[in-house]
Each structure stands twice: as structure tokens, then as C-alpha cells.
């Protein structure tokens, strides 16, 4: 019945367990809200722009949880949990912040490569080379917004002074 589409659920379950195990209970709701806004809603916006509008990717084996034949219900949930972890570990020192955002952007890109290797996702044409830029823009906007909304003061020194 589910076939390969069960992998999308497993991905959401894995990220959800990681977020639940790592983020302390008193802070969980705060990160859940930010994860929902920048992860789940952000994912849907990015998917709608890069999918049906620009035709840069294609999902396969959506199964019973496919939405409009564009993506699966579990994909935004996975990104919600991933962004919860992204915000929880977000460094406040600028020398660490920039590589952190770039690293998480590459993580997002590699999730797509793994799904492509499983035959469940495909970067169309040359987008396979430019997708990291999409993730970098997405994660940069999320980090900048989180820092601004949360009134987080960044530190430019390596030693934390």
C-alpha cells in the first residue's frame, strides 16, 4: 500500500524524535512555532515556487499522503523538525554562524540527493548544481528572521566576549 512513500514518514519520524530528544521541554513550544513558520510553511513556499512554477524538481512515489501530486504531507513536517534543531543550535557568534548556515544548507541539499538516490526525488536539469543556493537563501532568511524577531545579539568575537 505505501511502498517507497513510507520513507517520507520515516524521515519525519527521525527528525521528530531527534527534536523531541534534544530540545528541552520548556523551550520546545518556542522552537515548534519557529520550525512551523520557517520549516513547514517555508518548505511549502519553496516547493511551490521551484516545483510547479519553475519545474526544477519532481517527487515520485508520493503514496496516499501526496498533496496535489507535488509533494508529500510528511515533507513539511520533516522540515519543521529540522528547522527546530537548526534554530536550537544556532550559534550567536558571527564566525560560527556563517559556516553553520552554509552547513545546514548543504544538509538540506544532501537530503534531496539521498531521496534522489532512492528514486523518490529528482533535481531537474542543471538545478542539481544550483539547488544549494536555494537552500542557502532559505536558511539565511530563516536565521536572519529568527535573530531579528528574537532580539538575539550577535557576537563578532571567537572567544565569546
Has residue 129 been placed in a domain?
Answer: yes
pTM of this structure: 0.89
* pLDDT value of position 6: 82
Has residue 119 been placed in a domain?
Answer: yes
Tally of domains in the chain: 1
DSSP secondary structure letter of residue 125: T
Q: Residue 90 half-sphere exposure, CB side, CA atoms within 13 Å?
A: 25
Grid coordinates 511549502 are at which residue? 44
User: What region does 81 belong to: left with phi over 0, alpha with psi -120 to 50, or beta?
Assistant: alpha
Question: And the C-alpha cell for 76?
Answer: 513539511
Backbone angles phi, psi at 110, to 5 degrees: -70, -30
Residue 161 has pLDDT above 90, yes or no: no
Has residue 15 been placed in a domain?
Answer: yes
Has residue 155 been placed in a domain?
Answer: no
User: What region does 69 belong to: left with phi over 0, alpha with psi -120 to 50, or beta?
Assistant: left
Has residue 91 been placed in a domain?
Answer: yes
Has residue 106 been placed in a domain?
Answer: yes
Question: pLDDT by residue (tens digit) across 40-97?
Answer: 999 999 989 987 888 888 888 777 887 888 888 989 999 999 999 999 999 988 889 9
Q: Which residues span the domain enclosing 70?
A: 3-21+33-149
Has residue 145 been placed in a domain?
Answer: yes
Amino acid at each position: 500500500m505505501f511502498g517507497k512513500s513510507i520513507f517520507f514518514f520515516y524521515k519525519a519520524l527521525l527528525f521528530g524524535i531527534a527534536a523531541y530528544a534534544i530540545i528541552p521541554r520548556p523551550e520546545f513550544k518556542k522552537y515548534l512555532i519557529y520550525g512551523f513558520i520557517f520549516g513547514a510553511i517555508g518548505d511549502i513556499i519553496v516547493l511551490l515556487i521551484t516545483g510547479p512554477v519553475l519545474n526544477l524538481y519532481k517527487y515520485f512515489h508520493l503514496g496516499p499522503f501526496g498533496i496535489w501530486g507535488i509533494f508529500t504531507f510528511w515533507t513539511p513536517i520533516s522540515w519543521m523538525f529540522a528547522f527546530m534543531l537548526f534554530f536550537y543550535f544556532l550559534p550567536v557568534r558571527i564566525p560560527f554562524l556563517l559556516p553553520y548556515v552554509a552547513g545546514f544548507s548543504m544538509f538540506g541539499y544532501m537530503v534531496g540527493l539521498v531521496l534522489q538516490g532512492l528514486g523518490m526525488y529528482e533535481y531537474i536539469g542543471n538545478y542539481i548544481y544550483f539547488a544549494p543556493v536555494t537552500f542557502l537563501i532559505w536558511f539565511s532568511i530563516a536565521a536572519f528572521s529568527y535573530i531579528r524577531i528574537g532580539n538575539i545579539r550577535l557576537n563578532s568575537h571567537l572567544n565569546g566576549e
